[in-house]
A = this chain, B = another copy of it.
Amino acid sequence: MVKAEIITIGDEILYGQILDTNTQWISLELDKLGIKTVRKSSVGDQKSEILQILNEAALRADVVFITGGLGPTKDDLTKKILAEYFDCELAMHPLALQDVTEFFAKRGRELSDINRDQALLPTKAEFIRNSQGTAPGMWFNEKGVLWVSMPGVPFEMKNIMEQEVLPRLVKHFQTPVIYHKVIKTVGIGESYLSDLIESWELQLPEHIKLAYLPSIGIVKLRLTAVGDDLSRLQAEVEVELQKVNSLIKSYIFGYEKEELAEVVGRLLVDEKATLSVAESCTGGHLAHQFTQNPGSSAYFLGGILSYANQVKIDQLGVSEAILTSDGAVSEECIKAMAIGVQKRLGSTFALATSGIAGPDGGTEDKPVGTVWIALAHPTGVVTRKLTLGGTRMQNIYLSSLACINLLRKYLLNDLS
């Protein structure tokens, strides 16, 4: 299997002033080609540090991707250091000079000497065109390793990769076929999940690996199959999906990049159903989970944010009696909220939240993290009481997630 190392050069990434998104993007693209990233590194604009990482990478990888350090200013050293590392000179490259000249001409700007020097390349470098900027890409086949140097500006780097580098890599390497499948689950923790699927995990064939990708409220399972025949791998993974599906069916909400609210939105559209929300403790976050997805206006009508009790009374028709006797964080109140918004907005379904997100507002019998949620459907209301133990933001997020999952399970006739 071809091994890749990805190196970013620059103090601003090393010191954290910029978030590096290039290495993630590059490794995902390599992954699709079956090229395995074995190391990612960031070093600063220091000659010694850069030479050190080049020497290390040469021992580890078959192909090394270097981004950054190609700007026209003094602190950008990559080109000089690559020339030294590969023991060659910097020389003006005619095609590179032509490109940089056109780049400035097109923009009606003067070509300064410092910009003209962008066309100076190590003589051992193959020129790789950068149609988006002034710093060319470079391709070296030296020391038994393939080296690709690109500017750090994300859109320039991506363009160079897609237009020039990826096609060359496919030609250059004989890579195995890799097939990934990501299973997304909700409503169960990583450890409980692994208990449920352990027997299945243990019987996976050698060439199919499982990885857990947990995040708050959501656990992703990634299957990676390696072989030489894509359709065969897909078939084998499909068989394993069937098996695991039979073990954790009701926790699986989607695959690959599907988001929970997106999946539920699709189910609503399929049923030509509409949704409204009545939010107290989630304060708009629940609605945002739906409305951040393109096309949500096809089913999402709107909602009432009833943070203050008076709004619950006036806009949702919650009776003062309920608020006095049971309080806003109660099953009676959440029922009234869900039914109230469903009726007023005329939606098929309505979701409601009311709870204590914290850090303040908790009481003996209703501590921080106590949240009531409800789903009003065409023939009734379902309620759930959540007991959460997170920060304010986590409690808000998990409450929204629980609401959306409640609707998902209802739409799939999977409510216990």
Contact = CB atoms under 8 A, between A and B. Distances in A.
Interface of A: 11-21, 23-28, 31, 37-45, 49, 53, 56, 71-75, 103, 106-108, 112, 114-115, 132, 153, 155, 182, 190-192, 194-195, 201, 210-216, 220, 222, 277, 279, 282-288, 290-292, 294-297, 300-308, 310-311, 314-315, 344-346, 358-361, 387-394, 396
A38 B44 contact: yes
Contacts of A31: 15-16
7 contacts: A11-B211, A15-B28, A39-B43, A283-B290, A288-B396, A302-B311, A310-B346
A311 B345 contact: yes
Given A115-B191, A222-B17, A277-B305, A285 B291 contact: yes
Smallest CB-CB A-B distances: 6 pairs: A283-B291, A284-B287, A284-B284, A16-B27, A16-B28, A40-B42
Contacts of A222: 12, 17
A294 B24 contact: no
- Secondary structure of the A contact surface, majority rule: mixed
Contacts of A307: 291, 296-297, 300-302
Given A16-B27, A17-B213, A391-B155, A190 B73 contact: yes
A398 B113 CA distance: 25
Given A194-B73, A211-B12, A303 B284 contact: yes
Nearest to A6: B42
Given A17-B222, A294-B360, A300-B308, 4 more contacts: A17-B220, A56-B56, A73-B190, A305-B305
Which of A15, A39, A314 has most B Cβ within 10 Å? A15
A106 B301 contact: no
A191 B72 contact: yes
B311 A106 contact: no
A359 B294 contact: yes
A66 to B, nearest CB: 15
B16 A192 contact: no
